[in-house]
């Protein structure tokens, strides 16, 4: 039966965009999340770290932010600063969700 493996595809892995929310602590650790467990946790952690860095660098530049939205072509990242961390919303963009909810 091994010859059937000749026809099986190894499959080019298309990375899915994260969808859901997560609460992160001051060190970027994900405390709670609704993002699918299939999504790589290390990527979620990277997002958390970058989000906290953006808040911190803005504060240093005398532009303290309470909230921001990063609008990428296919993903919106909304982050609200919370005491000791942040809550982050990850929303893949579809044709019907191109505008900000604010």
Partner 1 sequence: MESHHKILLLDDDPDVLELYKDILAQLPSHPEVHTATTGARALALLDAEPFRLLICDLKMPRMDGLQVLSIVRRRVPEVRTVVLTGVPDEEFRSRAYALGVDLFWLKPETQQNMQMFLECLESLLGRDATAGFRGVQSKSLMDIIQMECLSQSSTVLRITRGALVGKIWMVEGELIHAETEGAVGEAAFQRILEWRSGTFENLPPEPDHERTINKPAHVLLLEMAQAMDETANPGAAGAGEELDHRKTVWKLSALTREGAEWIVSVPEKGVPEGWGTQAAEESAKWMRQAGELCKRLSERLEAGPLSHIEGCCLERRLILLPWEKKTFLLSWPPNWEAHRMVEQSKQIVASWDS
Name the residues that contact partner 1, by CB under 8 A: 15, 17-18, 43, 46-47, 50, 53-54, 57-58, 60-75, 77, 99-100, 102
**With respect to partner 1, which residue has the nearer C-beta, 8 or 37?**
37
Rounded distance, CA 59 to CA 15, Å?
33
Please say whether the beta carbons of 85 and 25 come within 8 A: yes
Residue 18 CB neighbour total at 10 angstroms: 21
User: Residue 10 CB, nearest distance to partner 1 (Å)?
Assistant: 19
User: Residue 1 CB, nearest distance to partner 1 (Å)?
Assistant: 36
**With respect to partner 1, which residue has the nearer C-beta, 27 or 67?**
67
Please say whether the beta carbons of 22 and 39 come within 8 A: no
Rounded distance, CA 81 to CA 101, Å?
17
User: Residue 86 CB, nearest distance to partner 1 (Å)?
Assistant: 13
């Amino acid at each position: 039966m091994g010859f059937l493996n000749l026809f099986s595809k190894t499959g080019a892995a298309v990375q899915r965009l994260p969808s859901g929310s997560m609460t992160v602590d001051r060190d970027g650790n994900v405390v709670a999340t609704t993002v699918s467990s299939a999504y790589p946790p290390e990527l979620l952690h990277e997002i958390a770290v970058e989000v906290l860095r953006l808040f911190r660098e803005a504060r240093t530049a005398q532009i303290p932010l309470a909230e921001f939205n990063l609008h990428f072509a296919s993903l919106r990242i909304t982050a609200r600063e919370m005491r000791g961390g942040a809550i982050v919303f990850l929303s893949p963009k579809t044709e019907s969700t191109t505008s900000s909810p604010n």
